[in-house]
Each structure stands twice: as C-alpha cells, then as structure tokens.
Amino acid sequence: MTRIDRIAEPWGTRTPYGSGGEWPVRVDTHLAEGVTPEDVDRWVQTASLLHSNGDAMDIAVKDNKIVGVRGRASDRVNHGRLGPKDLYGWQANASPDRLTKPLIREGGKLVETDWDTAMKRVVDRSKALLAEQGPSAIGFYTTGQLFAEEYYTLGTVAHGGIGTNHVDGNTRLCTATAAEALKESFGCDGQPGSYTDVDHADVIALYGHNVAETQTVLWTRMLDRLAGPNPPKIICVDPRMTPVAKAATVHLAPRPGTNVALMNGILHEIIANGWVDQEYIQAHTVGYAELEKEVKNYPPALAAEICGVPAEQISEAASIIGHAERLLSTVLQGFYQSNQATAAAVQVNNVNIIRGMLGKPGCGILQMNGQPTAENTRECGADGDLAAFRNWSNDAHIKDLARVWNIDPMSIPHYSPPTHVMQMMRYAEDGSIRMLWVSGTNPAVSLPELARVRSILEQERLFLVVQDIFLSETAQLADVVLPAATWGEKTGTFTNVDRTVHLSEKAVDPPGEARPDLDIFIDYAHRMGLQDKDGQPLIKWHDPESAFEAWKECSRGRPCDYTGITYEKLRGGSGIQWPCNDENPDGTERIYAGGKFWAHPEYCETYGRDLITGAPVDPSEYKALNPEGKAIIKAAEYVPPHELPSRDFPLQLITGRTLYQFHTRTKTGRAPELQAAAPDVWVELSADDAGAYGIAEGDLAEVETPRGSVRAKVRISGIRTGVLFLPFHYGYWDTDGGHQPDGAGRAANELTITDWDAASKQPIFKTAAARITRVSGGDGPSPAPTTTASAPAGDFPEEARTKGIASALADEATGTAGGAR
Amino acid sequence: MKFGLVLEEMHRSENDLAHHLLTISERHKVDHEIYHLARDLARWSQQHVRDIAAIAGNYGQDLDPEPRGEAGLMETLREKGSEMVGRRPETGMLLLRDLRELYLKACGVSADWELLAQAAQGMKDKDLLALAEKCHPQTIRQMKWANGKLKESATQVLVS
C-alpha cells in the first residue's frame, strides 16, 4: 500500500503488461480525513458517475454517511483503479447547498414548497397544454447521468403516455455522433469494441480523443501497455498537445473542422497501397466502390493542404494503420463536436471495416461516450430514439413496442425523426413548445450561444421544470424545481462505453425531501393518469428492480438484450456486457464477430441518413442497397465549416474539458481537491500567437466571437497556432451573476455558434471564428492545470505545477489477487 | 436541334434553384439548420450552373458561367427580418411554403437532368452523360433534403 497525490499523478503508478497479457490489479482508495478501512461500516457497490468509463467501485459508509470510495479489483473495466474525479467527487453529495425541498416560482421568486404543490403545478400545466394544444406543446430534456430504469420510465411516459416527439438527452452534446456513426455503418447502435482490445492491439489510433483526461482509467490501461513489452504504436489526431499526443508515434494536429479531409487522405493511402482485406469487403460489406471513388480525390498532398498538416505525416499514419495486425480505433469530441461530425466518425469506422478488423481481440472500434450513462439514454429511448433500438420508420417495430407497452401503435409518435434539443430550443423560441422539463442537465451553460439560450429559457410563456440536485444556472430560471437524489442515494443500473452494465446501489438516504428521479417520473405518470389501452396504469413498475425487469422485457430480442441480467447477477463480481441472454448468459465481449451485423432491413435501428444533408434514407432505398444486412461503407466529401476565420475574427476557437472537472462543475466544483486543481477558466494559445498578439502567460485576455465575449487568463500551451481553446466547465453558479455573466463572460458557450451536424444533430462546439486581445497583465501563471493538455509550452516554475491539497493523498495497492476479464 | 433549349432551360432552372435556396436560407436565419444547409446546397446548384455553361459552347449556346448574385442589401434585410419575426408562429407556415416550393423546384431540375441524360445517350455524348451522372444525384439529394425537412417540420407547425 502506497500513498500518492492523485491530483499531481492523475494516472497513478504504472503496472506494465505485454500484448495479450492480463492487466494487473491496482486498487485505488480514498477515504475522508481520519477514516481508516477498519472504521467503515459497510461498502456499497456502484460505478463511476463522473465520466463514461464505467469504473467499478464501492462506496464506504460510516454512520450512514459516505466517507470514501475504493475501486473494485474484480471488475473487468478497471481492475481496481479509479480516476481523480471518482476519488474526490463523492464529497459533493454532502454539500450544504444540495436542494432538499421542491421550489415554485411565486411573484418572480423561487420559494420552498411541498411535493404535492410542486407536482400539482407540473401536472395542471401538462393537462392544460394537452387539452389546448396537444403533445406538441411539451418537451423533455434529460441527461447522460440518470439510470437505465429512469430513462426507460421517462421514455415510456413521454413517447407512450404523453405522446410527444420532443424527447432528448444532453447526450446530444456528447455522444449523439457516436450513436449516429454506428447506425450509419452498422445499421444499429452498439459498440463494436471492448476495453480488452487495449490488451491486444498493436496500433491504437485515437481520433479527437484525449482519453488521458476524459477516461483516465482507460488511458492508464494504455499507459501500462506502453510501459510493458511490445507496446502498441499510438496515432493521435488532436490540435492540442495532449498527453496522448506526447505518447504518440505520429501526432496529427489538423486545422479545426477538416477531419473529413484528413480521414479521406488516410483512406486514400490505405486503399491506394492495397492495405485492405478484399475478402472481408466482398463478403461482409456494401458501398466500397463509392468510397474508392470518393477518396481518390484526396491524395495526401491535397488533404495536407486542407488540414494544414505535413503530407508525410498523413502517409506515415496511414502506413502504420495499414500495417497494423490488431487495430483499435477510438473517437471522441474532437470529431463529434466538429464540422462534419458524423461523416468524419464514419470514415474511422470505414478504416476498420475495409481492413477487416472487427470482432476479434485487439480489432475494435470505440465510438466513445462522454457521460457515464449515455448508452442508457440512447438504448432506453430517452434521447428521442425508440426504446431498445427500435426503428421509428419500421411499422413492425412500432407495433412491437406498442405490444410491450399495451397501447395503440398510433399513440407512439413515429411520423418523423425525434426532435433533437437544438430544435426543441427553436420550438420554445417560436412559442410552440410551452413546457420544457429538464432533468439532470444544465442547458443555460452547456448549450451553444448562451445569450440566445437564456433569452429562450427566460420567456414568461415557457413553463420550465428543472429536476436537479443543485440550484444550477438553469434551475434558477425554472418555474418549478424538483430536488432529486443522486448516485449513492438511489439504486439502478447503467452501462458504459463498452456495453458493460453495472449495478449502482443505494448507500445512504438522499438529503431532506430529495427523491430518486425514478420516483418523480412514476409519480408524474400516476398523477397524470397515464393508462394503457385496457385502462391499467401505463407505468406498471414501482421501484428500480421492477423497472429493470420491465426494461429487460422491452429489450428482449433486440441488440441490447438485457434479458440474461438480474440485479442478483450484477451483485458481487464484475459488470456484464450486453447482449446478455439465453445464448450469451455471461454477456458478449465483442459484437460483429465473423462479419455478422444487426443491419438487416427488418432488424436494423435505422435506414440511415445522408451524411451531408442529414435527409433520412428511404426504407425501400435501404432495402435495395443492403438486403442482407451487411456493414455499410459510406463515403463523404469534405465541406468547409460554416464559420471560417475572417479579418475581424482571424482565429478558430475550440472548447473542451479538463481532467479535473466534469460538465458544469455541479459536483466537481464542490470537491475541494478537484476545484483547487482547476479553479477557474483559462484560454490557451500557442507561443507563436502569443508573440503575434503581444500576450504573456497569465495575462488577462478577452476572447470574442460574433456572439459574445469571455475574459480568461492566458495559458501558452502546445496548441496548434491559429487555434484558441477554452474549457467549457465554468458558468456562473459560483459567481455574483448567479445564472448569467455579471460583467465579463466566463462560460465558453457565450462564444459558440448555433450550428449542428446535419446527421447526428450534435452541436458544433469546435469551429467558431474568434479573436483575442490582451486586457491586462497577470500576477502569475494562469489557473490551468500543468499535468494535462493545458500544460505550459515552455519553462515553468516548479511551485506553479499542479499538485493536490493535503487531503488529496490516496491509497494504491498493487499485487493483490486477479481481476476478471 | 432542340437540344440547345434543354441546356438553356437547365441553366435557368439550376440558377433558379440556387437562388431559391439562398432566399430560404436568409428568410429562415433563425432556423439554423435551414440557414446553413440551404447555403451549402446552393453551392451544388451554382457549380452545376458553371458546369452547364462550360459544356454549352459545344452546342452553340452562350450561357453565363457566373451563377446569379449572392447576398445584397435585400438579403441582409431578409435576415434581419427573420430575426425579428422568429418568435412568431406564422414563420412556421412560411417555412412550410418555402420548403414545398423548394421541393417542387428540385423535382423540376431533376426531371431536366433526366431529359439531358436521355439526350446525351441519344447523341452518344460521353462528356454530357458524365455531367448528368455527376450533377443529377446532387439534385436528388437536394430534393430529399427539402422533402425530409418538410416532413420533419410539418407536424409541429400544423398541429400546434
């Protein structure tokens, strides 16, 4: 057992292993000051809720309070390890400013009330709107941080009970493109790869995926491979000098918004050099000829010119990928939140498809998620898609879902694609959505172009319900605020990036009158009198386990089949990967083995969309193209971003995360070790740009776009010249402004453009034209962490390096008994 | 030969389609997907105009290679107007009308490409056939986009 500062050492101590070996166990623990493991009354099983990796852990409980966490050694995902956000973030649960009573707006102010009064307001307004306008007046906007049972209930209430098409999650901002890219290439959502592919891969290519900060434990696994015998080669595509870029064999730092050109350049080389598996292409795919034709137009020299990277680097990266024997490709926000998001992510799928590298150890694709339960938002129907990957344009699927819910198929809105959140905001703006119920997310900070978002949410004519654990910026604008329980205070399941399902058990009671989200949704359904066609209650479950059983039935026979999983089976050992059913009682490590896909026209989740226009593909067209349900190779031409640099705004702004904070910091900003590590907003620019604009490290600068401005202290980092970076975590709840700027802007989304990918509808946070000016000199380095992609480019005083406060010391235990596969 | 007239009509209808896309874009600036996509898709038609003009000389036609002009003062006014009325429900009806017209125009252009392709085959003109094979699929994508947006927008506009 060793003590280690996990703020200064975010990935902890190396435990090297070789190709095909077992990743050694390392158990990470952090307990409150003065508490020893012997003091703990009980350990309660759960998994991480502050990122998408799904690291299994136990909550330490003493005197009915959460006093710490410990990684679960037996779990397949993390083999005992935890990331900094897990080690320290649990403290936010006990924050004194948790919401403990419902609030309603009276005379312009939010005042405390009881549940009956608050729910009556919500129900009365819902009923009045349904009578006056119908379901088109009501929208639901949820999150990627509730549990599967809760999403399934919400989806059933919204789609089957209220009958509205306006349902989405904030997964639209983080993982919509992952889902869409998988649907386009494989006809269905579902992660092809498994984390164990890291154990086998000889090349790992990370596209816009700063895994070191977004999924620290997955990066730890990669670091341990890199430290062991026969390490994999790393290809990194990122305009910032991330920890991944530093470890890469080839680092490509393209101009923001040019990912499709880059991918087409790489594919050009792979195809021109014949590094493809013709047999696999013939047997298991459709559309290859189109790809060949398209990428012919992108020789490396041309791609290099568009992307602003050396042509030799494109060729070198393509050669490494082309010679890989076991290729793992991963993708995240650098692609998903950028120009041509889906088209670019699909080209990554194409690389693995044409090389025949799917469904075998080390050969996988990880289209990543940003949030812990995003996969459940997608599969349970809370992102607007229909439950269990049913196809909204396949009448047989609608009929089948209506059978499960025992309602008339006409009651399920399926006349057009679901309304994504950016469109919902537009409908709220034009006054046709008149009630918006936001659960577990904070659009007043996280959506693009905040001045516009605030002006929409502030409207008198919009009835805004916010269900949250803190009085977020969005909650401050609400008409009704419902206090919710969170992780550790309620029970449910959730599923990570690689389809691993974990059980998260209740450890302590929620504070005050706060209630589990599941209870709130069920209460609403009953108060609304939502019924099936026999006059029985639509929601027939009453607690997490009965909700899970209902969800299992809904998933039966679908790709995300949960029927073989029970709460009992999830207790104790390791998480389980779906599909888990009679044929696969222990779950399924890799899908798509042997070139078998879920793309058959009668079975697939979608017929896809045009990658450029976003227009849905007609069912008959899909059937003609892909009658046997093979993998679909879709090509795309490069289309420039809608907002390009100009004389007034000569730079490009990208936004993103830091390792130490999550989303709008509702939890991480209330954990002292994490908040101290990244206390305030900063802006990154290159040394060249700093010289050109006469700006020094630590100076206060103003960043402007046509939509607004933000003031931040400058970090001169290894970012590409011509590009600015702002972290998006910093809003206004801990400032005098409350929900909006009081003076200078702080939230990155004051600056971002209202524009989204036509296929996935994911907003484009990473291609705004911007300028920067120096405001005043600083009194020291900027508050940006030095351990991560925001590390300084040049020399830096030792005392200014990111280190933990005294309570940041955590325990590491290596050499304990084996982890599960 | 009547073929020159087909080219002239093709040139006119692609110009008209590009212009209509740009007009829709400006008029519905507050509907951001319409605004951005209509501009992207107008570029396809503008390129078709150039391509048609380039080949027209072979058939004795002198057609302007420059697509009709882009945003001037009127367009900027339309954008401002869009922002001002964007919070009123009538804009939805206007959007449906514009998308319907766009769909019909794109269908017309698609039919024109059919005619041109048939003629190209009759004349065994490979360059002309290649042009039709390059451009016509884009016209169909414009058509499907208009149809898709129409379908997607209709319910909310008509039933709320």
What are B104-115's pLDDT values in tens digits?
A: 999 999 999 999
Could B87 and A431 be called an inter-chain contact, meaning their C-beta atoms sit closer than 8 Å?
yes
Distances (CA, A) of A727 to A407, A682, A691, A781: 46, 7, 22, 17
What pLDDT does residue B71 have? Answer: 53
Quote the CA–CA distance of A710 and A312 in Å, as a whole number: 38
Q: Is any Cβ of chain B less than 8 angstroms from the Cβ of A613?
A: yes
Neighbour order of strands in the sheet with A500-504: A492-495, A500-504, A576-577
| pLDDT 10s digits, A506-560 | 999 999 999 999 999 999 999 999 999 999 999 999 999 999 999 999 999 999 9
pLDDT classification of B70: cutoffs 50, 70, 90: low
Q: Is any Cβ of chain B less than 8 angstroms from the Cβ of A134?
A: yes
Distances (CA, A) of A337 to A208, A311, A360, A756, B54: 9, 25, 29, 8, 39
What pLDDT does residue A651 have? Answer: 98
Could B160 and A417 be called an inter-chain contact, meaning their C-beta atoms sit closer than 8 Å?
no
Query: What is the CATH architecture assignment of A176-368+598-632?
Result: 3-Layer(aba) Sandwich (3.40)
H helix or E strand, kind and range, residue B64: none
Could A426 and B39 be called an inter-chain contact, meaning their C-beta atoms sit closer than 8 Å?
no
Q: Residue A430 is nearest to which of B91, B144, B151, comparing CB atoms? A: B91
Please say whether the beta carbons of A487 and A46 come within 8 A: yes
Could B87 and A429 be called an inter-chain contact, meaning their C-beta atoms sit closer than 8 Å?
yes
Those of residues 237-276 in A touching chain B at CB distance below 8 A are none
Q: Where are the domains of chain A?
A: 2-96+810-814, 103-172+373-592, 176-368+598-632, 651-790
pLDDT classification of A798: cutoffs 50, 70, 90: confident
Quote the CA–CA distance of A493 and A47 in Å, as a whole number: 9
From the number of C-beta atoms within 10 Å of its C-beta (0-12, 13-18, 19+), residue A421 rates as buried
- Optimal mutation site among B87, B91, B147, interface A, most CBs of chain A within 10 A: B87
Degrees to nearest 5, angle at CA B30 with B25 and B31 = 70
Cα nearest neighbour of A413 on chain B: B155
Q: Residue A613 is nearest to which of B39, B91, B145, comparing CB atoms? A: B145
Distances (CA, A) of A570 to A46, A47, A57, A501, A517: 10, 12, 13, 8, 21
What are B89's two structure tokens? 């429900």
Q: Is any Cβ of chain A less than 8 angstroms from the Cβ of B124?
A: no
Cα nearest neighbour of A138 on chain B: B160
From the number of C-beta atoms within 10 Å of its C-beta (0-12, 13-18, 19+), residue A775 rates as middle
B5-32: average pLDDT: 94
Please say whether the beta carbons of A768 and A638 come within 8 A: no
**Phi then psi dihedrals of residue A165, to 5 deg:** -90, -5
Q: In this structure, what is the dihedral angle of CA atoms A407, A411, A416, A420, given to the nearest 10 degrees? A: -90
What are B151's two structure tokens? 């379908």
What pLDDT does residue A306 have? Answer: 98
Cα nearest neighbour of A432 on chain B: B160
| pLDDT 10s digits, A44-85 | 999 999 999 999 999 999 999 999 999 999 999 999 999 999
Q: Is any Cβ of chain B less than 8 angstroms from the Cβ of A56?
A: no
What pLDDT does residue B84 have? Answer: 65
Evaluate the CA torsion angle A599, A602, A603, A605 in order and state its sign: positive
Could B31 and A432 be called an inter-chain contact, meaning their C-beta atoms sit closer than 8 Å?
no
Q: Is any Cβ of chain B less than 8 angstroms from the Cβ of A419?
A: yes
| pLDDT 10s digits, A355-376 | 999 999 999 999 999 899 999 9
A461-497: b (≥16 Cβ within 10 Å) or e: ebbbbbbbbbbbbbbbbbbbbbbbbbbbbbbbbbbbb
* Beta pairing partners, B139: none
Range scoring the smallest mean pLDDT among A136-140, A258-262, A747-751, A798-802: A798-802
Contacts (Cβ under 8 Å, ≥6 apart) of A523:
A115, A119, A515
The alpha-carbon gap from B5 to the nearest alpha carbon of chain A, in Å, equals: 31
What are A25's two structure tokens? 């166990």
Can you say how many angstroms the Cα of residue A450 is from the centroid of all Cα atoms in its chain?
A: 20
H helix or E strand, kind and range, residue B111: helix B90-123
ipTM for this model? 0.94
Q: In this structure, what is the dihedral angle of CA atoms A189, A239, A258, A170, given to the nearest 10 degrees? A: 40
Neighbours of A742 (CB within 10 A): 11
Confidence check: pLDDT of A448 > 70: yes
Beta pairing, strands A809-814 & A26-31: antiparallel
What are A427's two structure tokens? 């409908």
What pLDDT does residue A740 have? Answer: 97
Quote the CA–CA distance of A691 and B47 in Å, as a whole number: 41
pLDDT classification of B90: cutoffs 50, 70, 90: confident
What pLDDT does residue A818 have? Answer: 44
Query: Under DSSP, is residue A809 helix (H, G, I), strand (E, B) or coil?
Result: strand
Beta pairing, strands A435-439 & A768-776: unpaired
Could B40 and A417 be called an inter-chain contact, meaning their C-beta atoms sit closer than 8 Å?
no
User: Chain A partners of B40 at a C-beta cutoff of 8 Å?
Assistant: 612, 639, 642
Those of residues 10-69 in B touching chain A at CB distance below 8 A are 30-33, 36-37, 39-41
H helix or E strand, kind and range, residue A321: helix A311-323
Give CATH for domain A103-172+373-592. Answer: 3.40.50.740
- Full set of structural domains in chain B with CATH: 3-158 (1.20.1260)
**Phi then psi dihedrals of residue A810, to 5 deg:** -125, 165
Q: Is any Cβ of chain B less than 8 angstroms from the Cβ of A814?
A: no
> Please, what is the average pLDDT of chain A?
97
Widest distance between CA atoms in chain B: 55
User: Chain B partners of A422 at a C-beta cutoff of 8 Å?
Assistant: 32-33
Degrees to nearest 5, angle at CA A679 with A677 and A680 = 135
Evaluate the CA torsion angle A337, A338, A341, A344 in order and state its sign: negative
Identify the residue whose tokens are 């009501």: A138
From the number of C-beta atoms within 10 Å of its C-beta (0-12, 13-18, 19+), residue A711 rates as middle
| pLDDT 10s digits, A211-237 | 999 999 999 999 999 999 999 999 999
Q: Is any Cβ of chain B less than 8 angstroms from the Cβ of A650?
A: no
What are A86's two structure tokens? 């897990």
Cα nearest neighbour of B138 on chain A: A613
Q: DSSP letter string over A116-162?
A: HHHHHHHHHHHHHHHHHT-GGGEEEEE-SSS-HHHHHHHHIIIIIII
Those of residues 158-177 in A touching chain B at CB distance below 8 A are 165
Please say whether the beta carbons of A359 and A593 come within 8 A: yes
Choose among A400, A356, A504: nearest CA to A59. A504
Quote the CA–CA distance of A20 and A196 in Å, as a whole number: 9
Contacts (Cβ under 8 Å, ≥6 apart) of A116:
none
Confidence check: pLDDT of A380 > 80: yes
| pLDDT 10s digits, A235-286 | 999 999 999 999 999 999 999 999 999 999 999 999 999 999 999 999 999 9
pLDDT classification of A799: cutoffs 50, 70, 90: confident
Choose among A67, A359, A39, A316: nearest CA to A205. A316
Neighbours of A444 (CB within 10 A): 28
Cα nearest neighbour of B139 on chain A: A613
Neighbours of A136 (CB within 10 A): 24
What pLDDT does residue A489 have? Answer: 98
Confidence check: pLDDT of A7 > 80: yes
Please say whether the beta carbons of A256 and A766 come within 8 A: yes
Cα nearest neighbour of A456 on chain B: B87
What pLDDT does residue B85 have? Answer: 66
pLDDT classification of A174: cutoffs 50, 70, 90: very high
Identify the residue whose tokens are 């933990």: A804
Quote the CA–CA distance of A314 and A300 in Å, as a whole number: 6
| Rg of chain B in Å (alpha carbons) | 17
Cα nearest neighbour of B38 on chain A: A613
Q: Is any Cβ of chain B less than 8 angstroms from the Cβ of A622?
A: no
Quote the CA–CA distance of A626 and A183 in Å, as a whole number: 13
What pLDDT does residue B2 have? Answer: 81
- Optimal mutation site among A342, A613, A643, A762, interface B, most CBs of chain B within 10 A: A613
Confidence check: pLDDT of A439 > 70: yes
Could B141 and A610 be called an inter-chain contact, meaning their C-beta atoms sit closer than 8 Å?
yes
What pLDDT does residue B1 have? Answer: 61
Q: Residue A134 is nearest to which of B154, B157, B159, comparing CB atoms? A: B159
Q: Is any Cβ of chain A less than 8 angstroms from the Cβ of B92?
A: yes
What pLDDT does residue A289 have? Answer: 98
What pLDDT does residue A465 have? Answer: 98
| Rg of chain A in Å (alpha carbons) | 25
A351-383: b (≥16 Cβ within 10 Å) or e: bbbbbbbbbeebbbbbbbbbbbbbbbbbbbbbb
Pick the CATH number of A651-790 from 3.40.50.720, 3.50.50.60, 1.25.40.10, 2.40.40.20: 2.40.40.20
Confidence check: pLDDT of B75 > 80: no
Could A136 and B155 be called an inter-chain contact, meaning their C-beta atoms sit closer than 8 Å?
yes
Neighbour order of strands in the sheet with A56-62: A2-5, A809-814, A26-31, A65-71, A56-62, A42-47
| pLDDT 10s digits, A406-436 | 999 999 999 888 999 999 999 999 999 999 9
Identify the residue whose tokens are 């680092």: A251
What pLDDT does residue A821 have? Answer: 40
- Optimal mutation site among A294, A340, A426, A430, interface B, most CBs of chain B within 10 A: A430
Quote the CA–CA distance of A331 and A223 in Å, as a whole number: 18
Q: Is any Cβ of chain B less than 8 angstroms from the Cβ of A625?
A: no
* Beta pairing partners, A438: A141, A466
CATH 2.40.128 fits A2-96+810-814, yes or no: no
- Tell how many helices (H) and how many strands (E) occur in chain A: 27, 29
Confidence check: pLDDT of B159 > 90: no
The alpha-carbon gap from B135 to the nearest alpha carbon of chain A, in Å, equals: 14
A17-42: average pLDDT: 97
Distances (CA, A) of A304 to A258, A271, A332: 10, 17, 22
Cα nearest neighbour of B93 on chain A: A430
pLDDT classification of A325: cutoffs 50, 70, 90: very high
**Phi then psi dihedrals of residue A429, to 5 deg:** -70, -40
Q: Is any Cβ of chain A less than 8 angstroms from the Cβ of B142?
A: yes
The alpha-carbon gap from B134 to the nearest alpha carbon of chain A, in Å, equals: 12
Choose among A137, A763, A192: nearest CA to A463. A137
Those of residues 749-788 in A touching chain B at CB distance below 8 A are 754-756, 758
The count of CB pairs under 8 A between chains A and B is 77
Length of chain A measured in residues: 821
Quote the CA–CA distance of B47 and A410 in Å, as a whole number: 44
Please say whether the beta carbons of A52 and A6 come within 8 A: no
| pLDDT 10s digits, A643-669 | 999 999 999 999 999 999 999 999 999
What are A777's two structure tokens? 């000199």
User: Chain A partners of B91 at a C-beta cutoff of 8 Å?
Assistant: 430
